[in-house]
Amino acid sequence: MAVTAMAAIEETPTGGLLGSCPAMRELREQIASFAASELSIHVFGETGTGKERVARALHAHSPRRHGPFVAFNAAGFTDELMEAELFGHARGAFTGALTDREGFVAAAEGGTLFLDELAELTARAQAKLLRFLQEREYRRVGETLARRADVRVLSATNVDLAVRVEEDRFRQDLWFRLRDERLVVPPLRERGADVRLLARHLLRRDAERQGRPRPVLGAAAEAALERYSWPGNVRQLDSEMRRVLVVAPPGALVEPRHLSAEVRSAAERGPRGCLRAALRTFERDYLRRALDRNGGVRTAAAAELGITRQALVSKIRRLGVCAGG
């Protein structure tokens, strides 16, 4: 099963999980391993890395693939509105509730519910979500009838919830309910030559959609793309390639002058900063391995590394380390 799913993830556009770097190969292997399970998977990654694509790939290769995939972004909701949106409401439950309305949970029945941006949930919202995850029951706002939910729950954040737990900003019991397993999507700046592969793919895709001749990325342009740090990750690269398709003549060789000013400046600066990036990557991997060897226990990992626990926590936050434990 895992081998078959792995091949499908690599060969089809499901999730758009292109890339040959070790981290992406490991991620596809994890998706293939966990897709068929009912485990609650938490996806961690920076904004724009493709966390929802990972969730969609898990759904697409699961027994629930014929059911709906419903994404709910929890950011920016008040407690009351989040509850009404997630669980639904009865007519007259509050001002403006003119009809009964099903929520996102009901819409995902028989399929997968993807909960995104959970890091900023209030204490009350966390309690409501925890109860739902524990009992797989919910009540529409304004009703007393308990409804059963047959959904698989996947979640994602762009911050490490383990750190929020240590800061008493996120419930530990909810965190445990969300993460039977945790998958990490690497930032684009750490994926090396994947930048070129993705850029070619996105340029080809957009050209085909618009029925236009596809420009060809020149070596200098590709080098500039790979040097750039991509703070917006794959989402930003996607935007850059759409812009290139407009700026570069149809079928032309794309040169650095066709790239946006901020990306072009990376080419003009040359390879400076590569040593710093390499050291950062080494330090991040070294810390992650130490945490994994100690089962995620930070006190033990800090002792092994010869630093204080506070120093370790500081490095985890600065480097964005997300250990498997």
Residue 12 has pLDDT above 60, yes or no: no
Q: Please report the pLDDT score of residue 117 as a whole number.
A: 93
Within the chain, all domains assigned CATH 1.10.8.60 are found at 189-269
Provide CATH code, domain 189-269: 1.10.8.60
Contact of 159 with 17, CB cutoff 8 Å: no
| pLDDT at residue 14 tops 50 | no
Q: Which residues of 271-304 are buried (b: 16+ CB within 10 A; e: fewer)?
A: eeeeeeeeeeeeebeebbebbeebeeebeebbee
Topology annotation, domain 2-186: Rossmann fold (3.40.50)
Please tell me which residue, 261 or 312, carries the higher pLDDT value. 261
Tell me which of 3.20.20, 2.30.30, 1.10.10, 3.40.50 is the CATH number of domain 274-319: 1.10.10
Query: What is the model's pLDDT at position 273?
Result: 47
Write out the residue limits of the CATH 1.10.10 domain(s) in the chain. 274-319
pLDDT at position 131? 94
For the ranges 31-40, 88-97, 242-251, 266-275, the lowest mean pLDDT is seen at: 266-275
Q: Which residues of 192-205 are buried (b: 16+ CB within 10 A; e: fewer)?
A: bebbbbbbbbbbeb
Task: Determine contact, residues 69/59, Cβ cutoff 8 Å.
Answer: yes
In terms of pLDDT, which residue wins out, 265 or 50? Answer: 50
- Residue 92 confidence (pLDDT): 53
Q: Which regions of the chain carry the CATH code 3.40.50.300?
A: 2-186
**264-319 per-position pLDDT tens digit:** 887 676 554 455 566 777 887 788 888 888 888 888 888 889 888 888 887 887 67
Q: Report the pLDDT averaged over residues 216-240.
A: 94
Global pTM reads 0.78
- Cβ proximity of 319 and 287 under 8 Å: yes
Over 80: is that where the pLDDT of 323 sits?
Answer: no
Is residue 325 pLDDT above 50, yes or no? Answer: no
Flag whether pLDDT at 134 surpasses 90.
Answer: yes
Q: Which of 64-68, 71-75, 166-170, 286-290 has the lowest mean pLDDT?
A: 286-290
pLDDT recorded at residue 278: 66
Handedness of CA 110, 51, 196, 8 (dihedral sign): negative
Q: In 3-state terms, what secondary structure has residue 91?
A: coil
